[in-house]
Amino acid sequence: MRARFTIEYHTQWGENLFLVCQGRKYPMEYCEGGFWTVEIDKFTGAMLLDYTYEVVRDGIVVRQEWRHHSRKAARGETSFRDAWNDVPAGGNGFLREHSTAIFDKKGFRGAGTAIPVFALRSNDGFGVGEFYDLKQMADWAAMTGQTVLQLLPINDTTMTHEWMDSYPYNANSTFALHPQFINLPAAGVKVTAAFKKQRAELNALQKIDYVKVNQAKTKLLKAVFAGPEGEKVLASENYRDFFAANAHWLLPYAVFCALRDENGTPDFSQWGPYAKYSLKKAKDYYAGHKAEVDYHCFVQYHLDKQLKEVCAYAHAKGVVFKGDLPIGISRTSVDAWCHPDLFNMDSQCGAPPDAFAVDGQNWGFPTYNWDKMAEDNYAWWKSRLGKMAEYFDAFRIDHILGFFRIWEIPVPEKSGLMGHFSPAMPYTLQEIADRGLAVDGLFLEDPHHKGLWHPRINGRDTEAFKHLNDWQKWSFNELYDDFFYRRHNEFWKHQAMRKLPELLGSTGMLACGEDLGMIPACVPEVMDSQRILSLEIQRMPKDPNQTFAIPSEYPYMSVCTTSTHDMSPLRAWWEEEDRGLIQRYYNEVLGRAGEAPAYCEPDICEQIIAQHLASPAMFTILPLQDWLGMDAELRFENPAEERINVPAICPYYWRYRMHLTLENLLSQKAFNDKVKKMVEDSGR
C-alpha cells in the first residue's frame, strides 16, 4: 500500500515537520503555500492508520499534536490531507478514547476529590481501601456533581513485607499493581465465618495495619491459588490473553517477586547468579519455580481485571480517574534489575530545601540516564505511560521539574543539602576566583566533572559565608541568584523539550504537572507549549511577591487545590501552624474582621472551598478531608490525624484511613446536596 500525507503548517525558521506512523518517523518536504508532504511506498497493510505530526528544531521535538489522526486506508494508493490538531484555546481537548462526552464541552471546568485508594473505608473492607471501593467513591462523585477522582500511586511497593513498604512512591515495579488493593471474594476467596471475623477486626482499625493486612491477604490468596480456582484461572483464555499482552513486564516482575522472597531481600545484588538480569535466566528460573512465579501473575491478573471493571463503572457514571506518575524508581525494583543502564545507580534524587523540608529531601532513587533512554526514543517511558493509560484518563506528573533537571545527591550522602542540580553548568575555579571567592564551604564539586563547582544550596547559611566581607557577600549572592534562577533557563528548557513532547505524544492522558518548589522561568513556557496543567495552591503562591495566591487569578490550564498529600489539610493548617499567617489569611483573603478563631469552623472551610470552586482553573480537586471540613457532624474530631504524609519524616508510615465509611458518606443527603449545589453554582 502506498500513501501520501499532506498537512498545512507554517513553520518558524529552523523547524521541520515529521510524520509519525506505525512506530516510525518520516521527514516531510516543504511545498509552496505552507504545505508539507511525505509519501510512503510500503506499509504493513494496516487498514486503519493511527498517526500524528510533530515539529522538530535542532533535532528536538518542539511541538506535537494533541490528538492523533485515525484514518481508514484503501488498498493500493491513498492520500490524506490534514489540519493540525491542537487544544482549543477556550476549551480543554480532554476527551479521550474511554472518557465520557462531558469533558469535550468548550470551556469545561470540573470538580473532583483527591483520595488515596488505601484510605477508602467501606462496610465490607479488609482493613485497607480496595479497587472495588472506588465504585462507591464514583457514586459519591457523580451524586455531588464531580467528574474526577485523583489517586496516589497504586503500584506494588512490596519490598520487605514490613510497614516501610507503605510508602507509595517506592514501587518494586512501575507496571504491577499493589496486591493490597485486591478484593478477596472476587478473586475466589470463600467468605467463611473465620474470614468475616478477620475482616471485621482489621476493618475496625482507625488506621491501616499495613503488615497485618498484607500478610492476611497474601495467605488467603495463596490458598486460593493452590486450589482448583488457581488452576482454572491459569487455564482460562482470558488469563492467557492477559499474560501475552503484559509478558514484557509481567514475567520479570513475577520472577523478581519470587527471588525477593526466596532470598529474603529485594536487593538483587545479593541474589548470586541472578544479580544481573537476563531474559534467559528469568525463563530458566520460571521453569524451575513455576508455582511461585505463576502466583504473582495470578494476583496481577485479578487486580487488572478488577480495576478495569471499576474504570468502566466510573466512566458510565461520568467520572474518570487521575493517576500519579512518580518521578523516581526504586533502586531495588524490577525496573532497575532489568534495565540498569537506564539509571545512574551511583546517584540519588531528591529535592532542594522548600516549604515541605527545610533541609531538602533525599528520596534515595537513582537518577535517570536520559541519554541512554533517548537511544530507543524513550521506549521504557512510553511503555510505562501506556500501562497507566489502561486505567487513567489524566495523570499527575510528580515533580515535573525532574524532566528539566533533578536534585542529585551522591550515594554516600544522606542530607538533601549535599545535592546539586543535574544536568547543570557549574563554575570553574577561575570563574569563582574572578568573583573574589574561594570554594571552601560555599561550593560543592561536581561528582561527575572534577574541577567544576556548584554553589551550595545553603551557602548563605554557612560559617564560610558569615566570614566574607560585604563585597564578597554581594558577589556570592549575585552568583547564587544567577546560578539558581537565570543561568540555566535555556539549558533546562532544552532538556525538557528533549523528553516531554516525545513522551506526551505517546499517550492520550491529560497531563497535569506538580510544578512546586524552585521554579525556573522556563517551566511555565514549556508546560504551556505542551498543554500541561499547572498546580495552583493558595498557600504556595507562584508569585514571590504574594503571601497567598488568588484563586480568581489562576490560569485556565491548571488544577487548583487547597492542599496535597504532602501538606496538612485545611483544618490542621489553620489550627496547628503559624497563627500570624492565619490571622493575615482571615483578614486579607477571607475579608473577615477581627481576630481569627482558634478553630477552622465549617463556615470558614466552606468559604475557602467556594473560592477555589469559583476559580477559572479547569479543575478544582480537593482532598476529601477538606470537603468534610464543611460539616460539623462529618468532620473528624482530630484534624492532625487526617494528614497523609510528612515529607520531613523519612521513612513515614502511610496509614491514613477515612474515619467514616463510604456507605455512610453516600447516605448524608444534606451534606451531599450542599456539595452538589456549590459545584453547580460555581459553573463546574
What average pLDDT does this structure show over 95-105?
A: 54
CA distance to 11, 50, 62, 81, per residue, from 24 (Å): 22, 12, 18, 19
What is the per-residue pLDDT across 278-296, written as a single tens digit (0 to 9) for each? 999 999 999 999 999 999 9
CB atoms within 10 A of CB 538: 23
Closest CA to 325 of 98, 97, 90, 500: 500
56 or 295, which is more confident?
295
| Segment 171-182 mean pLDDT | 98
Residues 163 and 226 in one domain: yes
Cell digits for 327?
A: 518521578
Side-chain-side CA neighbours of residue 33 (13 Å): 5
Rounded Cα–Cα distance for residues 453 and 345 (Å):
22
Q: Are residues 198 and 294 in the same domain?
A: yes
Least confident of 251-255, 516-520, 539-543, 630-634: 516-520
Is the pLDDT higher at 86 or at 172? 172
Q: What is the pLDDT of residue 564?
A: 96
C-beta of residue 186 within 8 angstroms of C-beta of residue 302: yes
Residues 536 and 551 sit within 8 Å (Cβ to Cβ): yes
Report how many domains make up the chain: 3
Query: Is 174 part of any domain?
Result: yes
12-31 as b/e: b if 16+ CB within 10 A: eeeebbbbbbeeeeeebeee
Which residue do the cell numbers 469545561 mark? 108
Q: Are residues 444 and 312 in the same domain?
A: no
Percentage of the chain with pLDDT > 70? 95
- Cα–Cα distance list, 584 to 440, 500, 516, 563, 587 (Å): 41, 39, 23, 18, 5
Rounded mean pLDDT of the chain? 92
Give the tens place of pLDDT for each residue, 413-465. 888 899 999 999 999 999 999 999 999 999 999 988 899 999 999 999 999 99
The pLDDT assigned to 71 comes to 78
Residue 33 maps to a domain: yes
Task: Give the whole-number percent of the chain exceeding pLDDT 90.
Answer: 80
Residues counted in the chain = 684
pLDDT at 84: 87
Looking at residue 92, its pLDDT comes to: 46
Question: Residue 221 maps to which CATH number?
Answer: 3.20.20.80
Residue 320 shares a structural domain with residue 467: no
Per-residue pLDDT tens over the stretch 7-37? 999 888 888 999 988 778 899 999 888 899 9
pLDDT for 93 beyond 70: no
Report if residue 110 sits inside a domain: no
pLDDT at 97 exceeding the cut of 70: no
The reply to whether 676 falls in a domain is no
144 and 75, same structural domain?
no
Residue 513 lies in a domain: no
Helix (H) or strand (E) holding 127: none
CB 511 within 8 A of CB 530: yes
Shared domain check, 124 and 37: no
Q: How far apart are CA 246 and CA 571, in angstroms?
A: 44
Write out pLDDT tens, residues 654-665: 999 999 999 999
Q: What is the mean pLDDT of residues 178-199?
A: 98
Return the pLDDT at 104: 64
3-state secondary structure 161-182: CCHHHHCCCCCCCCCCECHHHC
- Is residue 282 in a domain? yes
Domain carrying residue 252: 120-338
Domain boundary among 338, 373, 393: 338
pLDDT for residue 53 is more than 70: yes
**Does residue 368 lie within any of the structural domains?**
no
Question: What's residue 502's pLDDT?
Answer: 86
Residues 144 and 32 reside in one and the same domain: no
How far apart CA 150 and CA 343 sit, in angstroms, is 29
Do 168 and 258 lie in one domain? The reply is yes
| CATH classification of the domain holding 76 | 2.60.40.10
Indicate whether 105 pLDDT > 80: no
pLDDT at position 64 is 77
Residues 147 and 291 grouped into a single domain: yes
Report the Cα–Cα distance between both ends of the chain, in Å, rounded. 48
Across 344-362, average pLDDT: 85
Query: Domain end: 302, 323, 338, which one?
Result: 338
Residues 160 and 76 in one domain: no
- Residue that terminates a domain, selected from 441, 467, 485: 485
What pLDDT is recorded for position 44?
A: 59
Answering whether pTM is above 0.85, one says: yes
Residue 91 has pLDDT above 60, yes or no: no
**pLDDT tens-digit series, residues 354-395:** 766 788 889 999 999 999 999 998 999 999 999 999 999 999
State pLDDT tens for residues 107-128.
899 999 999 999 999 999 999 9
In this structure, are 56 and 147 located in the same domain?
A: no
On whether both 227 and 136 belong to a single domain, the answer is: yes
Residue 613 contacts residue 679 (beta carbons within 8 Å): yes
- Confidence at 99, pLDDT banded by 50, 70, 90: very low
Strands 77-83 and 2-8: parallel
Give the residue from 595, 596, 623 showing the smallest Cα distance to 609.
623
Q: What is the pLDDT, as a whole number, of residue 574?
A: 97
Residue 198 lies in a domain: yes
